[in-house]
Structure 1
């Protein structure tokens, strides 16, 4: 994502905290050097077969993005905290010659081989949850996590789009861009662990997952991270970790029938301040 499209996340408690003090705030700033792999369920209008359209390989979207972010956290005490964060990845691309025909889900618009297609994919994820430290050992800390991811997915297709009149072989060109947007609640549970190697070095990681089915929405959520953190003092820390985030989403309604899969993975570097 270009820097002018970056979003700031506001967090009541960071899931990557390794040291909790009663009534403390935390601010984190850093960068997520992500690699994306996203696909969209479409239909071949010539054969009627369904397949996954890959935004990176089929539509020329960028695979690698640098996503700066800001986190603000708060711990009620050494055992209880709540958190709210926001992830965002916005991308656009143009493919001058599409090699696979497809019909856009939820509409009658289609693109044929050789079409020039402009595409947009915006994904914003807000996460709200609660963490409880159920084990506070000399070196190990363990926390349970429960919460809700709220994902907003926006797609846009333009360029050489058309539609068929009365199922005929003739394709009528259109001059507008086809956009769709859904907001899906994704519940989750998880586990966070921290291990103190020395007074300044910590190993930290978390895992959140859920298989869900809520009304017209179903799918799988997986959020994993592992890394190390160096504490300069009780206020400043520097962390480096590797993050993997995956969502498989199937959304069906009278307005749209969308099947999408996306993954973000890569290194994350953050600088934290506790006060």
Structure 2
């Protein structure tokens, strides 16, 4: 990236021209495009295959994604920020096309084809980080940031489902039937992200803001990537209130592998991907 572009392609974690000590609350939202799948077992063939949440289980591909961001700017150059994004989806499949099995907590769940299945997938993304304003002027700030990124994933299934221990499988099928609610919760280890951020006030009360954050890491059974690039215009409404319109590219792609003691059954490996390319709106209050 050219040094000449830094004042324009930078990140602003704050929506205000901050003072020495400044606390900002920012609320907003955008629409996400999701593509989520899970590795499961075909009970008929015994082979593993990829179950797609959007096409196979009918979860919405496009969904409104709210976010909240807190930022504390202190000692003129230091920033501490916390942001949270939520993507919660559920859907009913009237006649499941593909049967599948998965293992959670040493229990085999045998989900039949042709039956109704209620599916839930909740994803929350939390980031905590620190930024330092490397360059400051009368109408601009440019800084570097380091943060930790954690994903909270909750999966649920409810319907006519066979339940048994792996030793009770008969021809790869659970003999007993039930209507249980399967719930599997996972939390990724905090994964680091790095970024550059800043703002430029081109006329009093109006700023160009931008940021770029990135991480890619493989850690134990988790492999993940995050890309977050935003460029926008921020306007002062009152002394404490500001409104922002921005164009955002946001992508999260995480693979979570889980190890099963039973090698014949796949244990809910996840590939979670969602992205957003488009406008976003937010409003912030500083005090």
Shorter-chain TM-score: which interval?
0.7 to 0.9
The offset of 1:257, in angstroms, is 4.9
**Structure 2: stretches of 5+ with no match in the other structure:** 1-11, 262-266
- 1:203 and 2:208 aligned: yes
**In 1: Cα distance, 2:96 partner to 2:268 partner:** 22
Distance, in Å, in 2 between the alignment partners of 1:197 and 1:45 is 63
| Larger relative contact order, structure 1 or 2 (CA cutoff 8 Å, min sep 6) | 2
Distance 1:103 1:170 in 2: 9
- Which stretches of structure 1, 4 residues or longer, exceed 6 Å deviation after superposition? none
Q: Aligned ranges for residues 108-257 of structure 1 at < 5 Å? A: 108-137=108-137, 140-162=140-162, 165-168=168-171, 170-172=173-175, 173-184=177-188, 185-232=190-237, 234-243=239-248, 244-254=250-260, 257=268
| Structure 1 stretch displaced more, 151-160 or 200-209 | 200-209
* Distance in 1 between residues matched to 2:216 and 2:67, nearest whole Å: 28
Q: Secondary structure at the match of 2:203?
A: coil
TM-score by length of 1: 0.82
Q: Given the superposition, is the C-alpha separation of residues 50 and 219 from structure 1 closer, same or farther in structure 2, using an over 3 Å criterion?
A: farther
The residue number in structure 1 matching 2:17 is: 19
The 3 A distance-change label for structure 1 pair 117 and 75 is same
CA distance in 2, matches of 1:27, 1:169: 53
Is 1:268 aligned to 2:273, yes or no?
A: no
Comparing 81-90 with 41-50, which one deviates more in the overlay? 41-50
| Residues 224 and 113 of structure 1: CA distance in aligned 2, closer, same or farther (over 3 Å) | farther
User: How many Å separate the matches in 2 of 1:136 and 1:105?
Assistant: 54
Q: 1:183 to 1:241 in 2, by over 3 A?
A: same
> Which is worse superposed, 101-110 or 116-125?
101-110
Residues 170/48 of structure 1: CA separation in 2 closer, same or farther (3 Å cut): closer
- Cα distance change on mapping 1:117 and 1:132 into 2, 3 Å: same
- Residue 56 of structure 2 aligns with which residue? 58
Where does the alignment leave 5 or more consecutive residues of structure 1 unmatched? 1-13
Aligned residues of 1:105 and 1:258 also touching (Cα < 8 A): no
Q: TM-score, normalised by structure 2?
A: 0.79
Q: Does the 8 Å contact 1:189/1:208 carry over to 2?
A: yes
- What is the number of equivalent residue pairs in this alignment? 262
- Structure 1 residues 77 and 251 mapped into 2: Cα distance closer, same or farther (>3 Å)? farther
Q: After TM superposition, give the deviation of residue 95 of structure 1 in Å.
A: 0.4
Distance 1:226 1:37 in 2: 25
CA shift for structure 1 position 134: 1.3
The answer for the alignment partner of 2:4 in structure 1 is none
Which one has the largest radius of gyration? 2
> RMSD of aligned C-alpha atoms?
2.7
1:129 touches 1:145 (CA, 8 Å); kept in 2? Answer: yes
